[in-house]
Structure formats: structure tokens, C-alpha cells
Amino acid sequence: MPVAANRTRTLAAVAGAMLVAVLATSRAGSTTAPAAPPERHGSVTLEPGYVPPNDPESSSVRIGRRVNAPYVKMPFTGGARSLEELGRKVCHALDYETADSLFTLTVGQDEFRYILWPEFPMSRPATGITWQDGWLFLYGRLHQGSAIAIREHGGHAYQFVRFDRYDSTVTYKNFKLHNGLILVAKDEGGKTEEFRWLRSVAERKGHFKIYSMSD
């Protein structure tokens, strides 16, 4: 996501192109061919005079986390005390068709703001992205994902079997992310179901909460 300075340069480039078009039109009656518009590169980073923003933490993109993020004392509230307990609570919410109960198992706003967000590379100042931007996106996915999960899978007395991991567990300073999870459960008839919509779980000091859902 471009920072404000990049957006300003982009608008300036567009304004310059419009000015060239106006001048060319005013010369249409003369015998001199109109000047060709300046070459555009499609990216503000390739334009003459572009200066990249100061980004002393650029290596965090490669590492996958901000190494200077502070330690925090704030705990996770609610959730579950293990992945297995979280899986059972998810199945319980599906059984009772309660999207709100499923949503309460997800990461909350303050947990995202103070625990998770400061460690993500996109939170570094050079990006110009705020925690509110990140939370707006995450909240929408979690809220919508909860509603869709209930609509598509609710009303069944699922029995939790296990979580299968097909991706990775990433360790940050204040939490862990268990990514690419598959929730395996059995329905009333004993048929095994694999749910891939619960994609990631955040763990902090023995508490587990849903971090990401497909929507």
C-alpha cells in the first residue's frame, strides 16, 4: 500500500499529463505537430525524481516480523486453553448455529492492536498503514467468515476429532500463529468432514483464538 507521499507524487504525475493534453489541444490549429506526452512508467517508483521513503526496518519484510517490537503484558481474553478445546468450541457453535458464539472465539480489537499488529512488517512507519486499517480488514473477514461458516455448516452436531496442520507455526515475540489449519470433525452419521475455512489460530501464553477465516 503506497504511503501518502507516493499518492501525492502519483496525483502530481496525473495532473502533469492532463496539462500536456491541454497544451497540445490549444496548438491543434498550428502547423507544428503537438508534442508527445512524457513517457509514463506505470509506477511512481520509476518516475524521475522519485525518492523512496526512509525505511530502516525494510528487512522485516524478509524476516516476516519486526524485531524491535516491544514485549507486552496484555493477555488474551476468552478463547480456549488448547487447540483441541478451541476445536470443540467451534463445533459447539456450529451445532447451535450461533455466529456470535463463533465470533467470540476470534481475536479482539485490542488484542490485535497491542499484541499482534506491532510485530507485523506492515505496521512499520514507512508503509503508512495504521492499525485501524489492518483491523478494519481483519474484522470484516472474521465477522463475515463466522456468518458464512454458520450458514454453510451450522445445525450439525459435529464431534471434534483433531486439527491437521498443512502449513506452519510462526513464532513471534509475544505470540504464535498456527497457519493453514484443517479442522477435522464427524457429523451425526459418523461422516468425517474437513473444514479449511478456519485458516489460522493465534496462541498467547496458553490461550488460543481464531486469527483468520476465509470469507
Give the count of domains, the chain. 2
Copy the grid coordinates of residue 165. Answer: 496442520
170 in any annotated domain: yes
Copy the grid coordinates of residue 199. Answer: 485458516
177 in any annotated domain: yes
CA-nearest of 137, 214, 205, 155 to 183 is 214
Copy the grid coordinates of residue 112. Answer: 490485535
143 in any annotated domain: yes
Q: Are residues 49 and 86 in the same domain?
A: no
Query: Which of 53, 69, 93 is at the close of a domain?
Result: 53
Q: Are residues 187 and 108 in the same domain?
A: yes
Q: Are residues 41 and 111 in the same domain?
A: no
> What's the pLDDT tens digit per position in 160-186?
999 998 889 999 999 999 999 999 999
pLDDT for 106 beyond 70: yes
Q: What's the whole-number mean pLDDT along residues 74-87?
A: 97
> What's the pLDDT tens digit per position in 112-149?
999 999 999 999 999 999 999 999 999 999 999 999 99
10 in any annotated domain: yes
pLDDT of residue 48: 76
Copy the grid coordinates of residue 35. Answer: 508534442
Q: Are residues 97 and 47 in the same domain?
A: no
Distance (Å) of CA 135 to CA 15, 79, 129, 188 = 33, 18, 11, 37
Q: Are residues 99 and 203 in the same domain?
A: yes
64 in any annotated domain: no
Q: Given pLDDT bands bounded at 50, 70 and 90, which one contains residue 77?
A: very high
Amino acid at 18: M
Give the chain's mean pLDDT: 83
Could you tell me where the beta strands, DSSP code E, fall in 11-127? none
Q: Are residues 48 and 86 in the same domain?
A: no
Q: Are residues 24 and 129 in the same domain?
A: no
69 in any annotated domain: no
Question: Quick check: 106 and 48 in contact, CB under 8 A?
Answer: no
pLDDT for 92 beyond 90: yes
> What is the residue range of 165's domain?
78-213
Q: What's the whole-number mean pLDDT along residues 9-13?
A: 41
**pTM of the entire structure?**
0.74
pLDDT of residue 200: 96
> What's the pLDDT tens digit per position in 16-56?
433 333 333 333 344 444 555 555 555 656 667 666 667 88
